[in-house]
Amino acid sequence: MPGKDYYAVLGVKRGANDKEIRQAYRRLARKLHPDVNPGDKAAEERFKEINAAYEVLSDADKRRKYELYGDQWQYADQIEEARRQAGQQRFRRGGPSDGFHQFDLGDLDLGELFGGVFGRGRARSRRGEDIQHATEVTLEEAYHGTTRVLQLQTEEPCATCGGSGRLVGAVCHVCQGAGVLVRPKRLEVKIPAGVTDGSRVRVAGEGRPGRDGRRGDLYLVISVRPHGRFQRKGDDLHTEVEVPLLDALLGGEVEVPTLKGKALLKIPSPTQNGRVFRLGGLGMPKLGAGRQGDLFVRVKVLLPAELSPQERELLEKLKTMQKVGEKT
């Protein structure tokens, strides 16, 4: 994405903090996700753009390099090494010792520099960059764990030019100077139970290749879709259940939905409207901990829509009894 302003892509200011960047990314990711826009090529391209922007701006080191070198941020290490060597050469020749301030980026042979070649042609070994991929899951998938099949385009160092993009001073005819070859790849990734918004699932060795052949990693950045019945707070879940008036008055049992089936909740007599019960161990799995949070159930007392004459008569008697009890 040469020349792209990553801040503009996410719609944030240059001084935006991590939270603002993360919120902007999640908002755009949910709007532009391919599952929400099937067949929309423009949305798909925008989705790729915001992922590329978030990959850089969400990483403190990459963001620092981007703000220093713009669209050449990936080559920051090579540029700084070249600056250092240029400063050493000037020092040996008796010139200024501060190579950084005397060095002009335009003096570099970018074709050689980005191919990992410095001075005498020695290749610089460097691990490949990590990449990130936004992935949305349902609350049920976050509870049970799930898998995602990704259709990726992987980059492999060009064997013809050894990843330099050049052949004896000319552009490599196989990779057209890119130094890498792009190939389609199908990858199945397991998402563990208990993931939350912002969880990162690491897939080792599926990132971009480095000059020494070592690949970076792929990270799935998880967002959990809001649920219609359950509200998640950390590893706990909160829900509401309707309880008939007589069960609230006299006691009884009601069925409570959970993410692994139904559970019975015993209602003591009497139970006030709005009372909250805790069902231990029926919340979300704690990621990597082997235990679960709790489910909190708020009672909503359900009044009858209408009363039969007999029911009204009985309730009137109950009302009279309560008044007599209050006087005595």
Tokens of 21: 């960047």
Report DSSP state, residue 107: G
- Residues near 266 by beta carbon (within 8 Å), at least 6 away in sequence: 251, 252, 253
pLDDT digits (tens, 9 = 90+) for 256-311: 999 999 999 999 999 999 999 999 999 999 988 889 999 999 999 998 888 888 88
CA dist., res. 291 & res. 163, Å (int): 47
Most confident of the ranges 74-88, 100-114, 116-130, 198-212:
198-212
Q: Are 13 and 57 in contact (CB under 8 A)?
A: no
How do strand 231-233 and strand 117-118 relate by DSSP bridges?
A: unpaired
> Residue 85 — very low, low, confident or very high, per pLDDT cuts 50/70/90?
low
Please report which residue ranges of the chain form alpha helices under DSSP H.
Answer: 6-10, 18-32, 41-57, 60-69, 76-92, 99-102, 110-114, 139-144, 245-250, 309-327
> Residue 141 — very low, low, confident or very high, per pLDDT cuts 50/70/90?
very high
CA dist., res. 17 & res. 12, Å (int): 9
> Mean per-residue pLDDT for 97-108?
44
What three-state secondary structure class fits 285? strand
In 3D space, the residue among 231, 159, 220 whose CA is nearest the CA of residue 191 turns out to be 220
- In degrees to the nearest 10, what's the CA dihedral of 320, 321, 325, 328? 70
In 3D space, the residue among 136, 134, 139, 135 whose CA is nearest the CA of residue 226 turns out to be 139
Supply the pLDDT for residue 2.
44
> Residue 195 — very low, low, confident or very high, per pLDDT cuts 50/70/90?
very high
> Mean per-residue pLDDT for 105-117?
45
Beta bridge partners of residue 238, listed in sequence order = 231, 296
Supply the pLDDT for residue 89.
53
Supply the pLDDT for residue 319.
80
Q: Exposed (0-12), middle (13-18) or buried (19+): which is 50, by Cβ within 10 Å?
A: buried
Supply the pLDDT for residue 316.
85
DSSP-derived secondary structure for 204-271: TT-S-B-TTS-B--EEEEEEEPP-SS-EEETTEEEEEEEEEHHHHHH-EEEEEEETTEEEEEEE-SS-
What is this structure's pTM?
0.57
Q: Provide the CA 323 distance to its chain's centre, in angstroms.
A: 60
pLDDT digits (tens, 9 = 90+) for 210-241: 766 688 899 999 999 999 999 999 999 999 99
> Residue 169 — very low, low, confident or very high, per pLDDT cuts 50/70/90?
low
Domains and CATH numbers, the chain: 127-226 (2.60.260.20), 231-327 (2.60.260.20)
CA dist., res. 45 & res. 41, Å (int): 6
